[in-house]
Amino acid sequence: MTSTSVPEMLSDASLAASLPGGFTSRLAEVGGVRLHYVDGGAGAPLLLLGGWPQTWWQWHKVMPALAQRYRVIAVDLRGMGGSGKPAAGYDKKTMAADIRALVTHLGLASVSIAGHDIGAMVAYAYAANYPGATEKIALLDVPHPDEGWPRFGLLPEADQHVDSVIEAGDRSFLWWFAFNQVQELPELLLGDGRIRLLIDWLFTRQARNPAAIDEHSLDHEPELVQIAAECVGPHRIRRPRQLPRSALDPIEVAHHSAMREEHRLVPPRQTGNG
């Protein structure tokens, strides 16, 4: 097990403090797992749940604007960033229970949630299982897992484009889903700073406007993930295994369409020049 000191400029605490809105980096032991979150702003509580392979930092450009209207709580899901990396518990129902435990820990009765990618799946599972503790949800980029997920193929189908360039159409070959199921190998291949290669590849091909992701954002996101890995050894970065076995509850399937209409998060309108 290695021990690597985190450069001050890349620490969660320093990055949180660099954002307008009074943000601070915090840890909470909830439901048997340690969750890291960044908290700031004032108003109705809004949780931000990120995607793979990112940390809370993926939200840093919108957090100051949101903080003018909401109490913003950007959470590292179990397995990512500064949160704990248990060997199991990556089905979305369990991950939603983590968030519910954090909400209770913070003394909040109900929250709105915006989730991206894996975070969107967790947001949906939270709303489905804890409707009384949910105000609104916004799901970005990905639907909740359904019965079709276990049928993902290892090889691309005829109408799927392998390079994942978003302009090539919606039928991208999601090779990383299978890659992430392999035990231990992804950590070895992406260690020693090589995770930046993966992040650059994904953002260049998957982002609608790659130029909108500046070097400041790219330099900090992979460093946060990589430093977390180096601090406590090769098991630090946990991948979203169990995605095809996502503990779907019947209520999650039956109410999917209805909930997408019922729970909507309306972003604050931009005012003034620019």
Q: Is residue 270 part of a domain?
A: no
The 10s digit of each residue's pLDDT in 36-86 is 999 999 999 999 999 887 889 999 999 999 999 999 999 999 988 899 989
> Tell me: the pLDDT tens digits for 255-274?
443 344 444 444 333 333 33
| Full domain range(s) for residue 216 | 8-262
- Structural domain tally of the chain? 1
Task: Please check whether residue 19 lies inside any domain of the structure.
Answer: yes
In a domain, 1, yes or no: no
Residue 175 sits in a domain whose CATH number is: 3.40.50.1820
Q: How far apart are CA 45 and CA 67, in angstroms?
A: 10
Inside any domain, residue 271 = no
Residue 200 lies in a domain: yes
Specify the range with the lowest mean pLDDT, choosing from 58-72, 124-138, 154-168: 154-168
> Which contacts qualify for 215-222: CB closer than 8 Å, 24 or more apart?
217/57, 217/60, 217/61, 220/10, 220/15, 220/57, 220/60, 221/54, 221/55, 221/57, 221/58, 222/193, 222/195, 222/196
Region 95-110 average pLDDT: 97
Higher pLDDT, 22 or 206: 22
In a domain, 268, yes or no: no
pTM (predicted TM-score) = 0.76
Range with the poorest average pLDDT among 45-49, 101-105, 121-125: 121-125
Which pLDDT score, from 0 to 100, does residue 253 have? Answer: 39
Is 165 or 200 the better-scoring residue by pLDDT? 200
Indicate if the pLDDT at residue 223 is higher than 90: no
> Would you say residue 269 lies in a domain?
no
Higher confidence at residue 1 or residue 111?
A: 111
